[in-house]
Chains A and B, each alone.
Chain A
Amino acid sequence: MANPALTSHVSDYLKRRARWSPLEIAFWIFAFATIWLFPSKHLILKDTAILALFAMSLDLILGYAGILSLGHAAFFGLAGYFAGLVAKYGFITEPVLALVAAGLVAAALGFVTSFLVLRGSDLTRLMVTLGVSLMLGEVANRYSNITGGADGLQGVEIEPVLGRFRFDLYGHNGYVYCLIVLFVCFVVARRVVYSPFGLSLRSVKGNSLRASAIGIPVKWRLVGIYTFAAGLAGIAGALLTQTTAFCSLDVFSLDRSADLLLVLIIGGTGYLYGGLIGAVIYKFLQDYIANLTPQYWQFWIGLVLVTIVLIGRERMRAWIETARSALENLWPRGFARPAKFAAPDGK
């Protein structure tokens, strides 16, 4: 029989992994404080929240399951059009319900396409994911009588959220709405990655041969997370349509999927905050540089990326760890350390 003292120690240790760290709590308090702190920035903050949710959904499959995708925009775009169409034709007028429905539609697409993605190596996966999003983009282009084609989906009218909060021109309500949705999705995703299911994903990513040798149905675990991530990406896409009352073909573009990888390179993968931090840095950097040199802003984004690679993620991680432990020493003991940082290559 197992030693009871040891058992409770082990149980505490395992549970502690999932506890909210003070830094995380501070992060979210600050995130919500921006509602009052920067009212003039709500439009860009709203876009940042959407990008953050979208990037977090990619992190779930890249950072936790090791699936590299260049076509994550497929789910974003499908749900974006879905949200626009149901609002335009009055099928589902309440935005929150439409958002949930759009997420489910994207998840359904994720489930179906996951079987294609599971076949083959990283390179085939890149091509398959890219192919799926290109195909959907062309389908939307072809059926322009429904989607509006290259002109985009016009005439979308979004009802007030919960029948009370109408989206305004300055993005105030839109930002609050997106931030709350982001937070709810984050809490669910966080729960998932600290569950036995989430742990088994890390094992599949770490060594799928051994994972199947200890009885883990590797394929179904990957199908599960791919479907879940697709649903979250869909919610992000629907948020964009709802808060802009517009949807155009660029929701499916390769640029959108590629930007997402940049966000995760900036923020890091496998600790769930990478997409969030990356999105903030990416958006505000883009905004700042575009103000300085409207034509050549991509040059500076490129420079930042090269710098990140040159400095090296290991060194940056060391800096962050030092800063974190310094900060956490200021807090009462007994708080958990958050999950370790991990680079996109899984080192």
Chain B
Amino acid sequence: MPILQTTGLEKRFGGIVATNNVNLSVEKGARHALIGPNGAGKTTFINLLTGVLKPSSGRIALEGKDITDTSPHERVRLGMARTFQINQLFLDLTPLESVGLVVSERLGAGADWWRVVGTKSSVTEEIVEVIERFHLTDVMFDRVAVLPYGKQRLLEIALAFACRPHVLLLDEPAAGVPEAERHELLATIEALPQDVTVLLIEHDMDIVFSFADRISVLVNGALFVDGAPEEVAKDPRVKAVYLGEELDA
């Protein structure tokens, strides 16, 4: 059974079909990449998966359970978390407080209105684990707004990871990260635990082919090709529509 599955997923905005009858299966433990040219509907698709948008029709199942009608925060509890293509961080908080929020929430302490933050040792230990894994120790007391972009990008993933998702959706994690900070970021993504299934939305073909064990190509809102990296790389239709000369070089 696939861990994440969409059946006949569609989203129309007026007359525009942004997502067109997508049947996608992501296997447990996979490193699955979703690629496609600009405007192919990748972000709409992610928003449907995470519940930011409601589909016009079709179903979404997570670990066999239908989650089509659940709210975004419920999907997080059910085991799916995402990052954003453009950073969505809490600029006035520190990385420590940001991660603390997520961990408190996950351990059911988020609505606790009487206990002072930081007094529960199970919460604190987990915060430190996440901070260390994402190399944020040296900046953990700084305001998020003043962090270097690469660190913000790491925090972006750390917040999603701290939800302890079974499925992690990474929306162009390396977008805009300068070359010097890129290596740390990619190494951290590579080092994500194997039991976390990753669905990667990415533009950069180097990252896709070094990371993914399965690739789906989205064109004009529809699933175009779906297969192992070698097959997708060889597929002449993909080359024609999307990859162009990039792979031949």
Q: Which residues of A contact B (CB under 8 A)?
A: 1-3, 6-7, 10-15, 17-18, 191-192, 194-200, 202-203, 206-207, 209-210, 212-218, 220-221, 224, 340, 342, 346
Contact = CB atoms under 8 A, between A and B. Distances in A.
A34 B104 CA distance: 41
A14 B92 contact: no
B101 interface: yes
A183 B100 CA distance: 29
Contact of A215 (B73, B90, B127, B131): B73
B150 to A, nearest CB: 19
8 contacts: A3-B132, A11-B119, A15-B118, A197-B112, A202-B90, A203-B101, A213-B82, A216-B105
A7 B162 contact: no
Contacts of A12: 118
Interface in B118-139: 118-119, 121, 124-129, 131-132, 137
Contacts of B162: 214
B101 A199 contact: yes
Interface of B: 50, 52, 71-73, 76-77, 81-82, 84, 88-93, 96-98, 100-102, 104-106, 109-119, 121, 124-129, 131-132, 137, 140-141, 159-160, 162-163
A13 B160 contact: no
A199 B100 contact: yes
A7 B76 contact: no
Given A214-B102, A215-B102, A216-B105, A203 B90 contact: yes
Contact of B129 (A2, A194, A196, A207): A2
A202 B163 CA distance: 19
Contacts of B140: 10
A44 to B, nearest CB: 34
Q: Which of B81, B88, B100, B126 has the most chain A CB atoms closer than 10 A to its own CB?
A: B88
Given A6-B128, A196-B101, A196-B109, A13 B73 contact: no
A11 B121 contact: yes
A3 B131 CA distance: 11
B3 to A, nearest CB: 18
Nearest to B51: A212
B24 to A, nearest CB: 20
Interface majority SS on A: helix, strand, loop or mixed?
A: helix
Q: Which of A17, A195, A213, A224 has the most chain B CB atoms closer than 10 A to its own CB?
A: A213
Given A212-B71, A214-B81, A2 B101 contact: no
Given A210-B88, A218-B73, A200 B96 contact: no
Contacts of B52: 209
B119 A214 contact: no
Given A7-B124, A207-B89, A215-B163, 5 more contacts: A196-B100, A196-B111, A200-B104, A206-B91, A212-B73
A217 B73 contact: yes
A223 to B, nearest CB: 11
A215 B106 contact: yes
Contact of B88 (A198, A199, A207, A216): A207
A215 B117 contact: no
